[in-house]
Amino acid sequence: MFHKEGYKIIFITLVIVMGSILLIDTYIELPWLRLLLMIGMVILLILILQFFRNPKRHTQLEDHTAVSPVDGKVVVIEEVFEKEVFQEKRIQVSVFMSPINVHVTRYPITGKVSYSKYHPGKYLVAWHPKASEENERTTVVVDNKNFGKVLYRQIAGALAKRIVNYAKVDDEAIQGADSGFIKFGSRVDLFLPLDADIKVQLNQKVRGGETVIAEKL
Contact 88, 81 (CB under 8 A): yes
CA distance 108 to 167: 12
**b or e along 109-127 (b: 16 or more beta carbons within 10 Å of the residue's beta carbon)?**
bbbebbebeebeeebbebe
Q: Reply yes or no on whether 186 is catalytic.
A: yes
Q: At what angle do helices 31-51 and 7-27 cross, to 10 degrees?
A: 180
| CA distances to 30, 74, 78, 203 from 91, in Å | 59, 13, 6, 17
Options 116, 132, 179, 186, the catalytic residue: 186
Contact 206, 95 (CB under 8 A): yes
Q: Count the residues in the chain.
A: 217
Active site residues: 186
